[in-house]
Amino acid sequence: MDKYIVTLTAEERAQLQALVGKGKHAAQQVVSALILLNCDVAVHQDRRRLSSEELAEVLHIGARKIDRVKRAFVEQGLEAALHRRLSSRVYERVADGDVEAHLIALSCSQPPAGRLRWSLRLLADKAVELNYVQAISHETVRRTLKKMNSSPGRRSAG
């Protein structure tokens, strides 16, 4: 693994100390600020600096977190080190408006023989059987019905 050397300017150090010292900030942002302050080479020239493993133990985090924060600071700057990167993954929706309407209608219909009410798994299986979708999980059915304020086990939808 590459070794990243953190050297903060006086302005960056003051900004990080203000972030850690006062105000309300996200916990991960404060932890990242503490990591950068403790890994700063300019401040720790005269005294021994904590290793990544020692710092991880003190802050109760993983050593890999320290390496990721140092790397982000060196490669992308202070803002990238303090803020989480947004996911680039795109989630394709399985249940569009048409499928949602079919699921709601199905959940309001009579349950299969031998059943008192529809279960989420039964609804998912029936939606696939009726070719509303190729595949759908019971969790997607749950989220769809919850979003529509309709649940197969509720007495009233209001």
For residue 44, the model assigns a pLDDT of: 64
pLDDT band at 123 (very low <50, low <70, confident <90, very high): very high
Q: Mark whether 15 and 72 lie in a shared domain.
A: yes
CA-wise closest residue to 8 among 75, 74, 68 = 74
Share of the chain above pLDDT 90, in %: 44
Q: Which two structure tokens, joined as six digits, stand for 103?
A: 């699921």
pLDDT in tens, 82-114: 988 777 888 888 888 899 999 999 999 999 999
| Assigned domain for 101 exists | yes
Are 103 and 58 contained in the same domain?
no
Per-residue pLDDT tens for 14-50? 999 998 888 788 888 999 999 999 888 877 666 677 7
Assess whether 66 and 21 both reside in one domain.
yes
Mean pLDDT of the chain: 86
Has residue 87 been placed in a domain? no
Total of domains in the chain: 2
Domain region containing 29: 10-82
Which pLDDT band, with edges at 50, 70 and 90, does 127 fall under? very high
Q: Are residues 78 and 16 in the same domain?
A: yes
Predicted local distance difference test score (pLDDT) of residue 106: 93
Distance of alpha carbon 141 from alpha carbon 107, whole angstroms: 10
Which of 58, 42, 5, 67 is CA-nearest to residue 50?
Answer: 58
59 and 123 co-located in one domain: no
